[in-house]
Structure 1
Amino acid sequence: MLVRIVKMGFYKQNVQSFLLNFNDTKKQIRNFEGCKFLELYRDAHDPTVFFTYSYWENEEALERYRKSELFNTVWSKTKPLFSKPAKAWSVEKLETLE
């Protein structure tokens, strides 16, 4: 399983636009073939910084999403709202403790 973490910083005036867009597309992203989990986090100290945290079956599934029309639509609405470039990490989940 591949875990994708994306950190995004927005201009304060764009936060609501981002949240509305995320709300409109979150189910489509989560139901995209190969996506197993999706969460959105907000930084505890900076309300303009958000993280998406998603599980993908494998790197190929993530790449199919990144090349999809859905991603292009989401990203074309999200990217102009950034106050700084997004950062993304793909990591392998090794262990979960409950």
Structure 2
Amino acid sequence: MLVRVVKLSFKPEDIETFLANFETNKDKIRNFEGCEHLELWQDEYKSNQFFTYSHWVSEDALNNYRQSELFKNVWSKTKPLFNAKPEAWSVRQKAILD
């Protein structure tokens, strides 16, 4: 499993637009072949910063999503709202600590 974390920073006046677009598309993303989990997090202290946290069965599955019409549609509406370049990490779990 591949975990993808993406940091998104928005112009404060565009947060509601982003949230509406995410709400419209979250189930489509969650149901995209290869996506096993999707969450949206908001920074506790910088309310214009968000993080998507998703699980993918493989890097190929993630890349298929990133090349899909769904991604292109979501990204085309999200990209103009940024006030900083997004950052992304693909990570794999190495240990579980109890």
The interval holding the TM-score normalised by the smaller chain is: over 0.9
- Are 2:50 and 1:44 aligned? no
The within-5 A match list for 1:1-98 is 1-97=1-97
CA deviation map 1:52-84 (0-9, x unaligned): 000000000000000000000000000000000
Task: Kindly report the root-mean-square deviation, in angstroms, between the aligned alpha carbons of the 2 structures.
Answer: 0.9
TM-score (norm. length: structure 1): 0.97
Amino acid at match of 1:52: T
Q: Distance in 1 between matches of 2:85 and 2:18?
A: 15
Q: SS of the counterpart of 2:85?
A: strand
Q: How many residues align?
A: 98
Report the structure, 1 or 2, having the larger strand content: 1
Structure 2 regions of 5+ residues with no counterpart?
A: none
Q: Percent identity?
A: 53
Shift of 1:41: 0.2
Shift of 1:95: 3.0
TM-score (norm. length: structure 2): 0.97
Structure 1 regions of 5+ residues with no counterpart?
A: none
Q: Distance in 1 between matches of 2:2 and 2:71?
A: 18
Q: Distance in 2 between matches of 1:25 and 1:68?
A: 13
